Chain A
């Protein structure tokens, strides 16, 4: 067999790769299974649909769920933006973008409002998303109840019975201990008044952007083999109590590069003497605000 394969390889022009992947990397059967899971996910907002997660050429935990979702929806007409903590230029974002340029022939962009698909790790862009855009979240732990109830059989039952007392006890304990709800990322939400959902480790600053968003929101957890979704114009309510309502994070200072206020800031260490500056985590927004090409007036 080896000999025969060698002969076939040798007859090819040297420029042709030895292994040819299907367009979009995943085989068509896998795409169909993921597509069916996506449709059920959209039809049951916030419900985690199990799927047969495949291996993709990156380690589990580096966005394999998001990559599989993107691979199942992307086509040659799409313009893909990939962000990692808001940045277009980090290793993970660059390599996922290049991956799809190679295997799906899709074009890439860093401009939020031009992208048709935005794959994200842990941020929602500052520029408001518009109808017709799809945002794909990379999710490490899709089960919001996982650290409260480790058994999958039990968490499924809790979701089926809409029994979310555990989660409220957890939030209450935070208030009893710290005086406020201490969770600042992956802050649990209730989707369409029914399922409690993990929004992936986005900062709670971004939670309000999910509510009634005109864009389609898809979530992929590769290691945990779950897909879920929030359709456009769907209620996404961050959990809270009447006397201790949800409060998103806020920042008192503006970005030290572009001067924007009301944006999510990263602390960047600038020297060995404890110096630091606070700058926008959304690199596209920051670059364009500081160069004067405002992102205001982007489609709502």
Chain B
């Protein structure tokens, strides 16, 4: 199968520094849950892959990390070619086999119970889900746990109520679990498995 090479846009212009800066933003995001961290995006990946998703994938994924893409991303040959060329990550159809899952909208995120949660002895073998966040109902959740001084309110990133409820239940499976990263224009925020969510009202 020949690929349209002309459509292949470049990866990082400065692979070492761009990856380092992106990683520090992601690390801070995971360490301070639901607190957006500024993310530099020196990249123009093919649509519908956003620049934010592009920099995070280039920073974290390689041939050792099976990657699952949602339908919109998987359907674009430009996107799959770009990811394969720049990262070498094997693209998998079954989200259960993925170490990273990339969803282009909150509604296309894979159901949490289908993902790899790791085991009690090896909880680090679990999946990380990267989601393009949307506008959510302001103050629909409160969150507490490591990395949060007391508690904070969160808009739910536009995730469907069922997903949020699944995530809330998953706290009990600790140390097994799934870690989430949310992308908004120019920022990344994290939701590690340790963060306890309480949903306000009937969402």
Interface residue ranges, A against B (CB under 8 Å) = 22-24, 28-29, 31-33, 35-45, 47, 49-50, 72-76, 156-157, 159-161, 192, 194-195, 216, 229-235
Contacts and interface: CB of A to CB of B under 8 A. Distances in A.
B121 A45 contact: no
Contacts of A159: 121
Contacts of A50: 124
Interface of B: 15-17, 19-21, 23-24, 26-28, 30-32, 59-62, 64-65, 119-121, 123-124, 126, 128, 145-149, 174-175, 177, 179, 192-194
A232 B60 contact: no
Contact of A233 (B148, B174, B177, B179): B148
28 contacts: A23-B16, A24-B20, A28-B19, A32-B19, A37-B124, A39-B60, A39-B179, A40-B123, A40-B124, A40-B179, A42-B192, A43-B30, A43-B177, A45-B146, A47-B175, A73-B20, A73-B24, A160-B119, A160-B175, A194-B174, A195-B175, A216-B27, A216-B28, A229-B31, A231-B146, A231-B147, A231-B194, A233-B149
Contacts of B124: 37, 40-41, 44, 47, 49-50
B131 to A, nearest CB: 16
A35 B59 contact: yes
A65 B146 CA distance: 24
Nearest to B125: A40
Given A31-B19, A231-B146, A36 B193 contact: no
Contacts of A75: 17, 20-21, 24
Chain B CB count within 10 A is highest, among A22, A29, A39, A233, for A39
B129 to A, nearest CB: 12
Nearest to B19: A28
A258 B128 CA distance: 49
B123 A234 contact: no
Contact of A47 (B28, B30, B60, B123): B123
B76 to A, nearest CB: 24
Contacts of A156: 121
A232 B121 contact: no
Chain A to chain B: the 8 pairs with minimum beta-carbon distance, closest first: A43-B192, A160-B120, A40-B124, A234-B146, A231-B147, A75-B20, A160-B121, A231-B146
A44 B32 contact: no
A88 B171 CA distance: 42
Contacts of A74: 20
Contacts of B193: 43-44
Contacts of A42: 27, 30-31, 147, 192
